[in-house]
Chains A and B, each alone.
Chain A
Amino acid sequence: DGGITQSPKYLFRKEGQNVTLSCEQNLNHDAMYWYRQDPGQGLRLIYYSQIVNDFQKGDIAEGYSVSREKKESFPLTVTSAQKNPTAFYLCASSVRHGGFYEQYFGPGTRLTVT
């Protein structure tokens, strides 16, 4: 089955600790994205990567870091510098369909930092 996997579904951390969220896709998509969702809010873009070994900041990159060493994987690290890390994190990947890159989303990881 092709798709995007994010693990774990729920993640708990103590304040001051870095935590890495996993995102893997076996769809052979070139581009991958990380979004953050807060209650009652829309999704906001954290980072995106168009190809391996390249990534760009989104609208709210402060306190986050990413890597893209493999096409299939785009892990997100939430650092201790992120002031409000508790949120729902969604990963997406995209492929070109008739001139347009459609984004497909994973199931998300709910991070709680106390």
Chain B
Amino acid sequence: AQKVTQAQTEISVVEKEDVTLDCVYETRDTTYYLFWYKQPPSGELVFLIRRNSFDEQNEISGRYSWNFQKSTSSFNFTITASQVVDSAVYFCALTLTPGANSKLTFGKGITLSVRP
């Protein structure tokens, strides 16, 4: 069975600080897909990124960057120069299938608070 562990439960930073959210996953399959979602106070999950197991290239999107390392089964997310609007719960998730029957396994989420 798959498992996603987000060991950090709550993180509080001051605006403009950099912050890294950790994600460790477990699966015996060689093909899998990893995700990060943001859940603002409104409740809706917002998709941030998807990464395939066969693509270890790191990715940067504006202030967001992701570090995927198969050797340590980690898919960490860094926010550079954090802003108050980044305050949310962040979930890491994993699935084995790309199809409509895709079952996402979620971590418990990390609550990020960015103080002005």
Query: Footprint of B on A, CB under 8 Å?
Result: 30-31, 40-45, 48, 50, 56, 58-59, 88, 90, 92, 94, 96, 99-108, 110
Contact = CB atoms under 8 A, between A and B. Distances in A.
The bracket for how many chain B residues form the interface is 20 to 34
A100 B4 CA distance: 21
A42 B43 contact: no
Nearest to A92: B45
B100 interface: yes
A111 B103 CA distance: 23
B93 interface: yes
Nearest to A108: B43
B43 A102 contact: no
Contacts of A58: 103
Contacts of B109: 40-42
A88 to B, nearest CB: 7
A18 B9 CA distance: 34
A101 B50 CA distance: 11
Nearest to A96: B100
23 contacts: A31-B101, A41-B109, A42-B93, A42-B105, A45-B104, A48-B100, A48-B103, A50-B100, A50-B101, A90-B43, A90-B44, A92-B45, A94-B100, A94-B102, A99-B98, A101-B98, A102-B47, A102-B50, A103-B47, A103-B104, A105-B37, A105-B44, A107-B43
A103 B102 contact: yes
Q: Which 3 A-B pairs have the closest CB atoms?
A: A42-B106, A31-B100, A105-B45
A99 B52 CA distance: 12
Interface of B: 4, 9, 33, 37, 42-47, 50, 91, 93, 98-109
A107 B9 contact: no
A48 B9 contact: no
Contacts of A43: 45, 91, 93, 104, 106
A104 B102 CA distance: 13
Contacts of A90: 43-45
